[in-house]
Amino acid sequence: MTSGAGAPTRAEIMVFAACREVRDGDCVFVGVGLPNLAVQLALRLHAPRCHLIYESGVFGARPVRLPISIGDPCLVSGAAQVLPMAETFLYFLQGGRTDLGFLGAAQIDRYGNLNTTVVGRDYDHPKVRLPGAGGAPDIALNARRTVVIARQDRRKFVERLDFRTTVGWAEGGTSREAMGAPGGGPARVITDLGVYGFDADTREMTLESVHPGVTLEQVREATGWDLRVASPLGATEIPDEAMLRLLREELDPDRIYLKG
Amino acid sequence: MPARGRRSDDNPLPEVPTLSESKVLTMREAVSRFVRDGDTVVLEGFTHLIPFAAGHEIIRQRRRDLALVRLTPDLLMDQMVAAGTARKLVFGWLGNPGVGSLHAVRRAVERSYPGPLEIEEYSHFGLLCRYKAAASGLPFFPLRGYRGTDLPRANANLKQVACPFTGETLDAVSALHPDVTIVNAQRADAGGNTQIWGLVGAQREAAFAARRVIVVVEEVVPEDVVRADPNRTQIPSVVVDAVVEEPWSAHPSFVQGYYDRDNAAYLAWDRITRDPAELERYLDEWVHGLPDRSAYLARLGEATRDRLRPGPRLAGPVDYGDYR
């Protein structure tokens, strides 16, 4: 095996940023893709007592290999509980037992609302038929914090969604609370260019840090609206050599999630 | 009936008379008897226990105009749509997880190719609540789920209801009563008491909701094997019409403790589904060209099966107590 030395890739920086959002003791609703790896890293670093929940119906997963999907058999062997999917949604999400949820999206707007349904405004004749809602609307509605992970470009970061599958901060301000959404709303957006928070009053997405080698101009270029930027703009924290070794050699040696 | 239970004989159980009559049928008989043209057919199993063999038999018997219902239409639904069995798809999430799109479904939705496909979409939670309402004998199920989203704009069956106690506006979905639900499981007795371990998905709700139920199992076991561990029974005999014993009937999905997911097959599907001619060849080779699942297994080969068999990780026994 090669050593972990070498600069982190964008994917590794995203995984590390997502991992930092997990707090020890959190009930974490783990989504498809990079979050699978981020929570494994969090378990090994600062959050050994976090509980991994999968919408497939698993609480307290402790997989001994990297799960390839949210329904991988390795999530069941050694888990604390397996339960029907309906109860996972009823009790862990709607029942208010989820601290953190991870989400992905094909389109996101400045208030963290997400589209995973169709590209094109005509629902009946879409340009691209996307996968649809899955568990996302309920994670977004009920989790105390949500974190969105997406690659960033102008087709994804749009002024107006073609379809709102999943609510973030709705129209901003107090509009989310006004509609009676029980959860805490989006806390962070992590992309291959930077990390975003949301303004406490307007609830508008705000660029907080850029990854090494990324300029503010590049980020603006990849955003479909006039981007709000924190002052001062920070630099995204990057994983150290030991963490990189852990990611590359132990957690994802086949580069299932770290490719690209 | 073959005695293939995994119970140790060191500690024999009290004699239990076999109470239910056998519902064991071949897959061909079960599909031919219980799946009809125009039916609403639920095929459940979340990643785990996907009824591939049953779906292939439905394709082989050339059923038409089905309304196919599934939380996560994946390879099987792509195949069933491409084979022309479906007029409608009811779903929550559509894709080849971690790999890509279902291009046969997308061709039908985006370009009506080779024909139109009606779709009706929910969140996973919404569709689960539809099963739960039907299984519970309720006309609808309330949930918080769609506020702030455009989903009600896409589906007129998503409605709202006022809570009679608090006045809160809740979302509501209607009961979904399938004509037939088909689920896979590790084992059942001949009467249909069905045991599942690992992910249990929506199998129980979907079975209780249905007018007819087919269970497809890795093993048919004696009734006393089931009665020795009743907490593991997900579906009781009383709702089951047919029990089909077909090992490896969920391949390329997995069966906890029996075989792993064949991820190579899911990756390979991405190439097949992109090209209608390639997909046609797949259906000819793996479905129409084979008489049944044992022919599929022979074609799949022993090496693939060996690669997918997991090592053991046994649960400890529990003591239910002997209350004479």
* pLDDT tens track for B248-290: 999 999 999 999 999 999 999 999 999 999 999 999 999 999 9
pTM value is: 0.95
pLDDT score recorded for residue A256: 85
* B92, B101, B202: residue with CB nearest A134: B92
A48 residue type, one letter: P
pLDDT number for residue A259: 77
pLDDT, residue B9, reads: 52
**Which residue in B has a C-alpha nearest to residue A122's C-alpha?**
B154
User: CA angle, corner B200, sides to B198 and B202, nearest 5?
Assistant: 160
In percent, the amount of chain A with pLDDT more than 90 equals: 92
How many whole angstroms separate alpha carbon B34 and alpha carbon A250? Answer: 49
pLDDT per residue as tens digits for the range A203-245: 999 999 999 999 999 999 999 999 999 999 999 999 999 999 9
d(CA A162, CA A211): 29
Q: How far is B200 from chain A (nearest CA, A)?
A: 5
- Residue B162: inside a domain: no
Interface of A with B in 149-188 (CB under 8 A): 163-167, 170, 176, 179-182
Inter-CA distances, B252 with A131, A147, B99, B246, B304, Å: 21, 32, 14, 14, 10
Contact B94 A132 (CB under 8 A): yes
- In chain A, the residue whose alpha carbon lies closest to the alpha carbon of B118 is A124
Residue A56 predicted with pLDDT over 50: yes
Amino acid of residue A150: A
**What is the pLDDT at residue B13?**
54
Buried-exposed string A28-49: b where 16+ CB fall within 10 A, e elsewhere? bbbbbbbbbbbbbbbbebebee
Nearest chain B CA: its distance from A137 CA (Å): 7
Q: What is the pLDDT of residue B6?
A: 44
Listing DSSP states for chain A in one string gives: ---S-SPPPHHHHHHHHHHHT--TT-EEE--SSHHHHHHHHHHHTT-TT-EEEETTTEES---SS--SSTT-GGGTTT-SEE--HHHIIIIIIITT--SEEEE--SEE-TT--EE-SEESS-TTS-SEE----BTHHHHHHH-SEEEEE----TTTB-SS-S---B-SSTTSTTHHHHTT--S--EEEEE-SSEEEEE-TTT--EEEEEE-TT--HHHHHHT-SS--EEEEEEEE-----HHHHHIIIIII-TT-TTT--
From B155, B160, B123, B124, select the one nearest A179 (Cα to Cα): B160
**A89 close contact with B: CB closer than 8 A:** yes
Q: How far apart are CA A93 and CA A208, in angstroms?
A: 29
Split at pLDDT 50, 70, 90, the class of B21 is confident
Contact yes or no for B204 and A84 at CB 8 A? yes
CA A195-A150-A165 angle, to 5 degrees, is 120
List the alpha helices (DSSP H) in B169-292.
Answer: 203-209, 223-227, 263-274, 276-283
Q: B74 with B97: CB under 8 angstroms?
A: yes
CB contact under 8 A, B124 and A82: no
Residue among B97, B126, B200 minimizing CB distance to A84: B200
Mean pLDDT across B136-165: 96
pLDDT digits (tens, 9 = 90+) for B29-56: 999 999 999 999 999 999 999 999 999 9
Answer yes or no: is B131 within a domain. Answer: no
Nearest CA in chain A to B150: A164
Cβ contact, residue pair A133, B131, below 8 Å: no
Cis preceding-peptide flag for B114 (omega within 30 of 0): yes
Mutate to test the interface with B, among A36, A113, A129 (most CBs of B within 10 A): A129
Reported as type and span, the H/E element at residue B124 is: helix B124-135
Summarised one tens digit per residue, pLDDT across range B52-78 is 999 999 999 999 999 999 999 999 999
Q: What is the mean pLDDT of residues B171-196?
A: 98
Name the amino acid, one letter, at A37: L
Across the interface, which of A71, A84, A137 has its CB nearest the CB of B48? A71
Distances (CA, A) of B29 to B35, B242, B243, B292: 10, 9, 11, 12
pLDDT confidence bin for B16, thresholds 50/70/90: low
The residue segments making up the domain with residue B196 are: 27-125+176-308
Which tokens hold the place of B50?
A: 């996907």
Q: Report the gap between the CA of B175 and the closest CA in chain A (Å).
A: 14
Contacts of B135 in chain A (CB under 8 A): none
Residues B92-103 have a mean pLDDT of: 94
Arithmetic mean of pLDDT, B206-234: 98
Mean pLDDT of chain B: 94
CA angle B78, B80, B84 (to 5 degrees): 115
Residue type, A25: G
pLDDT of A1 > 50? The answer is no
B201/A85 CB distance under 8 A? yes
Nearest alpha carbon to residue A157 among A196, A106, A193: A106
| A127: contact with B, CB 8 A cutoff | yes
Question: How near does any CA of chain A get to the CA of B44, in Å?
Answer: 12
Q: How many CB pairs below 8 A link A and B?
A: 160
Catalytic residues of A: 55
- Residue of chain B whose alpha carbon sits nearest to that of A33: B98
The neighbour count for residue B137, using CB atoms within 10 Å, is 9
- Chain A positions touching B169 (Cβ under 8 A) are 180
Contacts of A167 in chain B (CB under 8 A): 147-149
Q: Is the CB of residue A24 less than 8 Å from the CB of residue A94? A: no
d(CA A208, CA A218): 15
pLDDT at A204: 98
- Mutation target vs B (from A85, A93, A179, A259; most B CBs, 10 A cutoff): A85
User: Does position B199 have pLDDT exceeding 70, yes or no?
Assistant: yes
Q: Report the alpha-carbon distance of residue A85 to residue A138 in Å, rounded.
A: 13
**Dihedral sign for Cα atoms in the order A162, B67, B159, A143:** negative
Cross-chain Cβ contact A134/B91 below 8 Å: no
What is the token pair recorded at A6? 């070498």
Residues B89 and B119: their CA atoms lie apart, in Å, by 5
CA distance A256 to chain B (A): 10
What's the pLDDT score for residue B10?
58
Find the CATH number of the domain harbouring B69: 3.40.1080.10
pLDDT score recorded for residue B32: 98
- Give the pLDDT confidence of A94-126 residue by residue, as tens digits: 999 999 999 999 999 999 999 999 999 999 999
Find out whether A226 and A207 touch, Cβ atoms under 8 Å. Answer: no
**Domains in chain B, number:** 1
Average pLDDT in the B13-20 region? 58
Kindly indicate the confidence band of residue A258, based on its pLDDT and cuts at 50, 70 and 90. Answer: confident
Q: Per the domain annotation, does B156 fall within a domain?
A: no
A136 touches chain B (CB under 8 A): yes
pLDDT at B252: 98
Q: Is the pLDDT of residue B293 over 80?
A: yes
Q: Contact, A235 vs A210, CB < 8 A?
A: yes
User: Which one of 1.10.10.60, 3.20.20.70, 3.30.70.360, 3.40.1080.10 gives the CATH number of domain A10-251?
Assistant: 3.40.1080.10
What mean pLDDT do residues B83-93 have? 98
Percent of chain B scoring above 90 in pLDDT: 92
Q: Are B138 and A153 in contact (CB under 8 A)?
A: no
Closest by Cβ to A129, choosing from B109, B132, B263: B109
